[in-house]
Amino acid sequence: MTEALRAEYHDAAELLHIEYDRRIGYYSMAADHFHDHYELYYLLSGERIYFIKDRSYRVKAGDLVFVDRNTVHKTLESGMPDHERIVLYLQPELFAAMAVTSDLAAGLIEPFCWDNPIVRLPIQAAKVTEAIVAEMVKEMRQPDEGSGMLLRHRALELLLHTYRHRHMGRIHTDDPDPVLHPKIQVVVRYLNENYRNPLTLPETAGRFRISPHYLSRLFKQTTGFTFSDYLNLLRVKEAQRLLRESEASITDIALLAGFGNFSHFGKMFKRTVQMSPRTYRQEYNERDGVHKI
């Protein structure tokens, strides 16, 4: 690879968004995030570290990574420069729009819910995946008549191909690929289970008999998140769920999600979601009302 490249596709109906990037040098995601759509990541070349929920995985060229909705995740450099990847962001309504039956849609979504989200297909099946992705990249870089329709169909074809070969490509949780430090994995799981409670770095470090400085450094190094940023993300995600699924006041939701300070809650929510909690609830209710008509 000699030069950086980027191409992007946005479906007019906002059901499918695709990003292609060829990156030169070392790169780690700056944004800490999660979202309410499915994410399918394919690494064309290079090597990456992918943190998902409470584990880190070493992703190699040819690997597919399935990220479930509302799951905290981030990619990091692995110590090797240069990589090339394509990412598909899929709204659940895409399957209905493509006239996919509910049974098949459930099958296509299944890999997003696996404990281990990495699919590593054997060589012949991997070549088919590579060909599908190559055509998608070409179509994005040189769009023509019907490009949107072709990209939609190729996205569905990619999911179907993976689903058909899922038993050959699935990596099980006892495989030695996860690379998250064992101590940090325990800490992350503790945060995932207890984020609604008052938690601090010194208290958590004491619980696991680690110095606060060492925990802070190791947490950032192995997950890509600072301790406080990860904790705030978990709490914002829970606040989003409560705003969607309950009628509790925004003040109560802040407390239920683990924020002891309402002003801090508003600041963290807006920084993460790019809108206020009130606006988020209003927009979700309006969207949900449209879907129910």
Q: What is the pLDDT of residues 7-30, one digit of tens each?
A: 999 999 999 999 999 999 988 876
Alpha helices for 118-259 (secondary structure H):
123-141, 147-164, 166-169, 182-194, 201-207, 212-223, 227-245, 250-256
End-to-end CA distance of the chain: 50
Q: What is the pLDDT of residues 91-145, one digit of tens each?
A: 999 988 888 898 999 999 999 998 889 999 999 999 999 999 999 999 999 999 9
Question: pTM for this one?
Answer: 0.77
Under 8 Å between Cβ of 226 and 216: yes
